[in-house]
Structure 1
Amino acid sequence: MTFIDLVKQRYSCRSYQEKSVEQEKLDYVMECVRLAPSAVNKQPWMFRVVKDEAEKAKLRECYNRDWFNSAPMYIICSILHDQEWVRKDGKHHGDIDIAIAVEHLCLAATEQGLATCWVCNFNAEKCKEFFTFADNEEPAVLIPIGYAADERKEKIRKAIEEIYK
């Protein structure tokens, strides 16, 4: 599969099968995340896999949507602010770095026949109450991951002329 084919195949899944994700597939995905680039190679991130039923119930309280509840597991993606690179003008790069790593996660999952969806509109404060995070750690993205129960819908994208000069 070419890279463009992989990119076209990835989509935001909103319905998951009950089937568990095999450990070897999860390990492969997380190795791809580990290899993601970051500013000054700081790698200011932490990823927590949530499989336990009690923990999944807590996480579902942080983003209460029916479709989200169908995922067999989740990955909490956090920024480690004391490890992020800060440009001379004060620009923090943790958000950029976590975005790169999370997209590596989503593309690697797609390659493995898995489905994902970025969830950023969740209750981060509630997430901090339910899970243990370091003082410097900010949960930034939740990724439901599993086998899709829905079908990919055609993505509507701007024409190349609108984004490329």
Structure 2
Amino acid sequence: MEFNEVIRNRYACRKYDDRQVEQPVLERILDAGRIAPTSVDQQEQHITVIRSDDGLATVDALTECRYGAPVVLLVTFARNDVYTYPGGRYGSGVEDASIALTHMMLAATDAGLASCWVNAFDPDKARKAFAVPDGEEIVAMLDLGYPADDTEPSAKHAKRKSLDELVSYR
């Protein structure tokens, strides 16, 4: 798939079929997250693959937003390994992990899978449920799977603001 097709075709999938994600396909998606750029190459993101029945049941107890996906990626970052911006107020962890998440979403689309970025859960409960170490911060979960035949993007998906509304030049 051409890159423009990938970014235009990617949408938040809310219904998956029952096919499992093959290990080579999953590894290709995970590798896209691994090679994502991070501030000063800190590579502080960590990805937990959740696909066991118990793990998926735990996700279901945390959120209604799994939508039957056979794989969920829990993406965190190591709080003490981030680049701290000048002024000391902000670190790069959330954005670096978000770049990795975005790479994985686009790689999933390119591989014929669908995904949904999930942040509708209590991170403290997720931390406890998945034994996330104290030094890591949870950014999001990412559903992965093959879209069901009758699923489609939301009506809002194609409605985009114009460049004039989003971009300014100085």
Q: Considering the TM-score relative to the shorter chain, is it more than 0.5?
A: yes
What is the CA–CA distance in structure 2 between the aligned matches of 1:155 and 1:33, rounded to whole Å? 26
What is the CA–CA distance in structure 1 between the aligned matches of 2:45 and 2:84, rounded to whole Å? 15
What residue is the counterpart of 1:83 in the other structure?
81
Q: Is the 1:60–1:69 contact (alpha carbons within 8 Å) kept by the matching residues of 2?
A: no
Is residue 53 from structure 1 mapped to residue 53 from structure 2 by the alignment? Answer: yes
User: Shift in Å at residue 4 of structure 1?
Assistant: 1.5
Cα distance per residue 1:23-58 (max 9 Å; x no partner): 010011111111100001001110011011011111
Amino acid at match of 2:82: E
Amino acid at match of 1:79: F
TM-score with structure 1 setting the length:
0.94
What is the CA–CA distance in structure 2 between the aligned matches of 1:85 and 1:39, rounded to whole Å? 6
Which deviates more from structure 2 when the two are superposed, residues 67-76 or residues 81-90? 67-76
Q: Is the 2:45–2:76 contact (alpha carbons within 8 Å) kept by the matching residues of 1?
A: yes
What is the CA–CA distance in structure 1 between the aligned matches of 2:158 and 2:120, rounded to whole Å? 21
Amino acid at match of 1:108: A
In structure 2, the CA distance between the partners of 1:69 and 1:162, relative to structure 1 (3 Å rule), is closer
Q: Which consecutive residues of structure 1, in runs of 5 or more, have no partner in the other structure? A: none
Percent sequence identity is 30
Q: Is the 2:98–2:139 contact (alpha carbons within 8 Å) kept by the matching residues of 1?
A: no
Is residue 31 from structure 1 mapped to residue 34 from structure 2 by the alignment? Answer: no
Is residue 155 from structure 1 mapped to residue 152 from structure 2 by the alignment? Answer: no
Post-superposition, which runs of at least 4 consecutive aligned residues in structure 1 deviate over 4 A? Answer: none
What residue is the counterpart of 1:18 in the other structure?
18
Q: Secondary structure at the match of 1:68?
A: coil
Amino acid at match of 1:161: D
What is the CA–CA distance in structure 1 between the aligned matches of 2:22 and 2:47, rounded to whole Å? 17
What is the CA–CA distance in structure 2 between the aligned matches of 1:62 and 1:103, rounded to whole Å? 22
User: Shift in Å at residue 121 of structure 1?
Assistant: 2.3
What is the CA–CA distance in structure 1 between the aligned matches of 2:117 and 2:7, rounded to whole Å? 15
Is residue 6 from structure 1 mapped to residue 6 from structure 2 by the alignment? Answer: yes
Q: Is the 2:59–2:66 contact (alpha carbons within 8 Å) kept by the matching residues of 1?
A: no
TM-score with structure 2 setting the length:
0.91
